[in-house]
Structure 1
Amino acid sequence: MKKLENTLMELVCFAGNAKSMALQAVMKAENNDQEKAKDLLQQAKDELHKAHTIQTDLMTKEIQGEEIEKSILLIHAQDHFMAANTVIELAERFLKLYEKVNEG
């Protein structure tokens, strides 16, 4: 596998982990386990940060003139990144909502 393909698979992996952890956080909040929910959400953000670092590196290389091969894998990786980012944003709101509901 080429270096770019390996890099893109790492991005997919980190973003997939982030999305999964964010969804797990929501499930913990549903069950009134706010501490574990917050911990999982932070882990999700940490994984997304790793994916973002890869994405930023690829964009920087392209801006500096390096040819980045456009492929289905690149599109798939970007899709995973954006989906993870959206799920994390929604999970943050769900955790706040469940915290209020479980207080009352």
Structure 2
Amino acid sequence: MEEKNLEAIMGLIMYGGNAKSDAMEAIAAAKSGNLALANQKMIDAEASLVEAHHAQTGLLTQEAQGNQMTVTLLTVHSQDHLMTAIAFKDLAKEIIDLYRYIYENKE
């Protein structure tokens, strides 16, 4: 596997993992009532996903230019990390919104 491709794949794994961790920390912050921290953690999660998408775009660009890449288990794993992180971030947003609603409507 080319060094450039390996770096992109590892970037997907790393940034995807960071995004998922930040989203999980955002849920925990919202649960404890710290909505400001929850918002910041979601911003951090989104920033990690942007970096992951940059890595993915590099791989896709190479493919579009005719530079075929051998798909390995590591490649599949990196894509799985990214998709899981995206889904987790989307669900975290909904959970945080629910906590926000609960805190704002307490009697």
| Shorter-chain TM band | over 0.9
What amino acid is aligned across from residue 20 of structure 2 in structure 1? K
- Counting only pairs closer than 5 Å after superposition, residues 65-80 of structure 1 correspond to structure 2 as 65-80=66-81
Q: In the alignment, which residue of structure 1 is the partner of 2:56?
A: 55
User: Where do 1:1-104 residues align within 5 Å?
Assistant: 2-3=2-3, 4-104=5-105
Runs of 4+ in 1 over 2 A off after TM superposition: none
Identity of aligned residues (%): 34
Query: What is the alpha-carbon distance in structure 1 between the residues aligned to residue 7 and residue 51 of structure 2?
Result: 14
TM-score, normalised on structure 1? 0.95
Corresponding letter in the other structure for 1:101: I
Q: Could you say what the CA RMSD is over the residues aligned between the two structures, in angstroms?
A: 1.1
Contact 2:8 2:56 in 1 (8 A): no
Distance 1:26 1:12 in 2: 21
Aligned length: 104
Q: What's the CA shift for 1:62?
A: 0.2
Which shows bigger deviation, 19-28 or 51-60?
A: 51-60
* Aligned-residue offset at 1:2: 4.2
Residue 11 of structure 1 deviates from its aligned partner by 1.2
**TM-score scaled to structure 2, two decimals?**
0.92
